[in-house]
Amino acid sequence: MSGAPIAPAVTHPPAPALPLPADWRDFFALTKPRVMSLVIFTGLCGLLAAPGHINPVLGFTTVLCIAVAAGGAAALNQWWEADIDALMKRTRERPIPAGRMDRTNARDFGVALSAAAVLVMGLAVGWLAAAILAVSVIYYALVYTVWLKPRTPQNIVIGGGAGAFPPMIGWVAVTGQITLMPVLLFLIIFCWTPPHFWALALFVQTDYAKAGIPMLPVVAGAAATRRQILLYSLVLAPLTLLPWWIGGTGALYGWVAAGLSGLFVALAFRVGLRQAGPDDAMKPEKQLFAYSVLYLFALFAALVADHLMLAR
């Protein structure tokens, strides 16, 4: 052993790990872009099908405000439901439950988007459209997310109203008034929402049950859900024909609506009148859910096409 003492090795404590900040893609994911695409589309259709003219810049601003407000409401929804989202396979990779974003950031982001959208809509387009936009955000973030969703199996029915506002907002942005046609467009989406979501809930019900959300299949059972899907589909079909019947659209929309709704009811009958075993692949339910998305896109596209043809 040598005489020189050996200095103890100096070990530095590891630098405190800085949590990675949320990527801009996380903020984008908060806005639920897939849901937003449907909202943008129906809002744009309401705007294009309305009688009258709107400057393209203001039309673009209207659709942008609808999209931004929908994104803000979605961020508020994810802020409130972060605990529930963490329990479900479909939602646990969202930015907050995955730990990539602080909860308060999501809340502030949602409030900022919603407030900015309503303010810009009011200043640029009109305060009636802005007021309906504000109601739609409050409806989705408070009435649906905070109040109804965790409390009643009818959450989807009343909460569906939030998604039904965009065509009405688009219409009112052009005309400046609420008439029967935008109310009918609202009612069409309102009655479309329950069969659309309950078809989904039938084949992902295990997840909803785990999260303690009183979805109709969880609380009332699959048979009651199937009956309700059929019931709402039977109400929806004639409702889609009303715009034609009151003279708000031409025959093109009427025939397309009749054909699309006929197929919707046929698929709903398949779901409504069957019983599924525990290992069932749930093919009719998946078909109805997939078709319901296509149905709404096609129905509103027909509304616009009809209006453009009549306007010639």
Judged by the rule CB under 8 A, the positions of this chain that interact with other proteins are: 17-18, 20-26, 28-29, 33-34, 55, 57-58, 61, 64, 100, 123-124
**For residue 129, how far is the Cα from the chain centroid?**
19
Angstrom distance (rounded) from CA 132 to CA 22: 32
Sign of the alpha-carbon dihedral angle for 160, 161, 164, 166: negative
Angstrom distance (rounded) from CA 78 to CA 120: 24
Nearer to other proteins, 61 or 145 (CB): 61
Least CB distance to other proteins at residue 218 (A): 24
Nearer to other proteins, 16 or 277 (CB): 16
Least CB distance to other proteins at residue 103 (A): 18
DSSP per position, 167-212: HHHHHHHHHSS--HHHHHHHHHHHHHHHHHHHHHHHHSHHHHHHHT
Nearer to other proteins, 57 or 311 (CB): 57
Least CB distance to other proteins at residue 63 (A): 12
User: At residue 5, what are phi and psi to the nearest 5 degrees?
Assistant: -70, 145
Least CB distance to other proteins at residue 300 (A): 22
Please name the residue that has the structure tokens 């387009």.
Answer: 125
Nearer to other proteins, 69 or 236 (CB): 69
- Cα Rg of the chain (Å, integer): 24
Distant-in-sequence, close-in-space partners of 153: CB < 8 Å, separation ≥ 6: 214, 215, 216, 218, 219, 220
Least CB distance to other proteins at residue 33 (A): 6
Nearer to other proteins, 9 or 18 (CB): 18
Least CB distance to other proteins at residue 204 (A): 16
- Orientation of helix 33-49 relative to helix 155-175, angle to 10°: 40
Least CB distance to other proteins at residue 210 (A): 21
Nearer to other proteins, 38 or 138 (CB): 38
Nearer to other proteins, 169 or 299 (CB): 169
Six token digits for residue 195: 């069969």
